[in-house]
Amino acid sequence: MAEYRIDDLARAAGMTVRNVRVYQDRGLLPPPERRGRVGWYSDAHLARLRLISSLLERGYTFATIAELLEAWAQGRDLTDLLGLEDALTRPWSEEAAERISMRELVDLLGSEVTPGVIKRALNLGLIAREGTHFVVRSPQLLETARVLLGAGISLPLVLDLAELLVQDMRRVAHNFVTLISQELFGDSPDGLPAASELQRSAELVEKLRPRAQRAILAVFALEMEHEVAAMLGEKTRRAGRLQGRHWAPEAPSPDAGR
């Protein structure tokens, strides 16, 4: 087994000595074996440093890394833990975001694109700023807005519809995640599935990913059929009442039937 002084360990891990000391101070890296005044690190320390670097690149905080390493120390497979994390956090849509300029946005949506409209779209999370451009998270939603505008619906009303949709879908997503969390994590004291359940949990999430989207579309289609039928029925009844109010058959002529 190889042994490293701290500067050699840092070089092998592709980081600075200062980083090694920081990770050690935060309890992420076990202390070295002391021989006299020199601390000696092993291949296990090098593997731990490379793992920490990988987790930091994935956006984990020091606190979360500490929890993962603790779970690993308790016998959970870190590969399975990261597999579950990837299954849960990977984008739930295959739709690619688009980057457009303000001019392109105005060309698509028209003169109603004002600073107030932009601010509202930003607050709803429909777009995001990127320098002098905007990132459209869902081009399909933008295309839907363009079609509605072409049908004569105002942009503020389109945003009203978008806001209602965001609120409703946020509630649906929250309920869905709550149920899945209860199923996957249950009453686990550290908030993680049992070691034997990690791979099964990741597989379950992968199976649910496309089916959840299809289920939402299916329920939405059913409810749209119901609402449209109810709306047409109400319009028909109202038209019938108005017709009955403004029209009555003529009285028969006295000579009728002679």
Give tens-digit pLDDT for 142-197.
999 999 999 999 999 999 999 999 999 989 888 887 877 777 666 555 555 565 56
**22-66: pLDDT as tens digits:** 999 998 888 899 988 889 998 888 888 888 888 888 778 888 888
150 or 243: which leads in pLDDT: 150
Q: How far apart are CA 17 and CA 5, in angstroms?
A: 10
Q: What is the pLDDT of residue 252?
A: 58
pTM of the full structure: 0.56
210 or 171: which leads in pLDDT: 171
Model confidence at 216, pLDDT cuts 50, 70, 90, reads: confident
Q: How far apart are CA 210 and CA 218, in angstroms?
A: 12
Do residues 193 and 80 touch, judged by C-beta distance below 8 A?
no
What residue segments make up the domains of the chain, in order of their start? 3-73, 98-242
Fold (CATH) for 3-73: Multidrug-efflux Transporter Regulator; Chain: A; Domain 2 (1.10.1660)
Residue 104 pLDDT > 90: yes
Task: Print burial letters for 110-139: b (CB count within 10 Å at least 16), e (below 16).
Answer: eeebeeebeebbeeeebbeeeeebbebbbe
Average pLDDT (210-217) is 84
Q: How far apart are CA 75 and CA 77, in angstroms?
A: 6
Task: Report the mean per-residue pLDDT for the chain.
Answer: 81
Q: Any idea what the Cα angle at residue 176 is, between residues 170 and 177, rounded to 5°?
A: 90
* Proportion of the chain above pLDDT 70, given as a percent: 78
Model confidence at 235, pLDDT cuts 50, 70, 90, reads: confident
Q: What is the pLDDT of residue 80?
A: 60
Average pLDDT (15-28) is 92
